[in-house]
A = this chain, B = another copy of it.
Amino acid sequence: MTLLDRLRDLLGPAHVLTGDDTAGYRDDWTGHYHWTPLAVLRPGSTEEVSAVLRLASETGTPVVPVGGNTGLNGGAAAEGALMLSLARMNRLREVNPAARTITAEAGVILETLHDEAARHGLVFPLTFGAKGSAMVGGFLSTNAGGSNVLRYGNARALCLGIEVVLADGRVMNLLTGLHKDNSGYDLRDLMIGAEGTLGVITAAVLKLAPAPVAHATALLGMDTLAGALALLHRLQAGSGGAVEAFEFMPAHYMERLGRLKPELACPFEPCAVNVMVEIATTIAGEDPVERLETLLEAALEDGSLTEAVVATSEAQRRRLWTMRESAAEITFVQPVMVDTDVALPLDRLQEFLTRMEERLATLDPEAEVFLVAHLGDGNIHYSVYPGRDEASHLAAIRAAIAGEAVALGGSFSAEHGVGLSKRATLAAHKDPVALSVMAAIKAALDPKGILNPGKMLP
């Protein structure tokens, strides 16, 4: 019996797709990656995932897990591999408002978690553009970030427990909803962010938080990033840690936004540093707009702030968010040759930008930079439209960005992960001892190298 026959026996023929039936599983969202899987498998339970992995392990067949396929680094590319879609595992195993947890299978869509939490007056705070497609297994395997990380942390911080199927098919049950658990090595956090190279996450216990009852949102203008960071600290202390977003859009962002979408033009003459800030409160009866206005007035008076426009209606609030959320659209109006996702220590963003300006002046004087940043997390999406597009030139620019970020104590991958596209960068810029520890762990947990081969590890 062939491998595919055995898989059909295991999952039922309807859940083993081959040939033309795999049409929806051969490309990724970015359009950069295309592949032909050996087959697409659609298991419906942890037991089936386990049986598939036993078989794959026995036969040395590569397995690439995939959720919503919304990753940006080719992490789900599955050339010649069994593509393991978790989409059918979409059950909410438990919703527990008293314990503030949801236990969800890997194929549950992020937006479903939002909706379910909302039904109980709660919120699952993780959110980003692909929320309508991204799934639990994917956002955990990539440790996704997004625009609420400042207040609630990334995917890792919102996950209390996981169930994982290992390369050999064994099921590791770490599915607890505990806030304190020092019973052995932190295998949960090792699996989260491992991009499916150490195991397949099949379910997770996720943390819920009380839902905000009111928001205050503003667009601010000031001169320097140092000033913006100082203001962030004032707003954090002055709001009791209620800052949910602090998003940096430089003057060149505002200029292009106003040109391409006049209805979203900056309401004041753009400053060097423009920031969209939002605070939220869970306190019934509290007016966060009044609180924010008081804080901003003080900053305007002492000169640490040049401009401030506070949204006074939900429509105005949506408009400010749309200004920020148009980032991808206005970035990609011209082909971006180099788009990155770097993180810096909070106080070193300006230094990074200055150094990159110097590097680009030498490397490519015609290059144009376009950027937007989750400033509160030190996370810059730094894109370059280069003066010329030879692969080696693009690689040199990429290397310069990664190198400058790492030299300043930063990271070449803040929230998008490594996948295929940043493997070479990882090899060049990660601490070599850490790389060798990663390789040792991979060899220990997946000795045949069947789990998402060719990803993350150099």
Q: A242 interface residue, CB < 8 Å from B?
A: yes
Q: A329 interface residue, CB < 8 Å from B?
A: no
B440 & A179 in contact (Cβ 8 Å cutoff): no
Count of this chain's copies in the oligomeric assembly: 2
A174 & B431 in contact (Cβ 8 Å cutoff): yes
A174 & B237 in contact (Cβ 8 Å cutoff): no
A437 & B143 in contact (Cβ 8 Å cutoff): no
Q: A345 interface residue, CB < 8 Å from B?
A: yes
Total contacting residues, chain A, CB less than 8 A: 94
Q: A426 interface residue, CB < 8 Å from B?
A: yes
Q: A181 interface residue, CB < 8 Å from B?
A: yes
Q: A233 interface residue, CB < 8 Å from B?
A: yes
> Using an 8 Å CB-CB cutoff, how does the interface string of A428-439 with B read, 1 for contact, 0 for none?
011101111110
Q: Which of chain B's residues have a CB closer than 8 A to the CB of A101? A: 345
A186 & B178 in contact (Cβ 8 Å cutoff): no
Q: A3 interface residue, CB < 8 Å from B?
A: no
Q: How far is the CA of A149 from the CA of B241 in the complex (A)?
A: 16
Which chain A residues numbered 179 to 238 have a C-beta less than 8 Å away from chain B? 179-187, 189-190, 192-194, 198, 209-210, 226, 229-230, 233, 236-238
> Using an 8 Å CB-CB cutoff, how does the interface string of A133-172 with B read, 1 for contact, 0 for none?
0000000001101000110001011000000001000111
A437 & B166 in contact (Cβ 8 Å cutoff): yes
Q: Which of chain B's residues have a CB closer than 8 A to the CB of A189? A: 186, 189-190
Please choose the segment from A28-36, A83-91, A407-415 that sits at the chain B interface, where 4 or more of its residues have CB less than 8 A away.
Answer: A407-415
The closest CB in chain B to the CB of A174 belongs to B434
The closest CB in chain B to the CB of A456 belongs to B184
B445 & A180 in contact (Cβ 8 Å cutoff): no
A416 & B99 in contact (Cβ 8 Å cutoff): no
Q: Given A434-B173, A444-B443, A445-B437, A210 and B236 touching (CB < 8 A)?
A: yes
Which 6 A-B residue pairs are closest in the complex by CB-CB distance? A189-B189, A444-B444, A180-B414, A98-B347, A210-B237, A440-B444
- What is the interface of chain A, defined by CB distance below 8 A to chain B? 96, 98-101, 142-143, 145, 149-150, 154, 156-157, 166, 170-187, 189-190, 192-194, 198, 209-210, 226, 229-230, 233, 236-242, 281-284, 286, 343-348, 374, 376-379, 409-418, 422, 426, 429-431, 433-438, 440-441, 443-445, 456
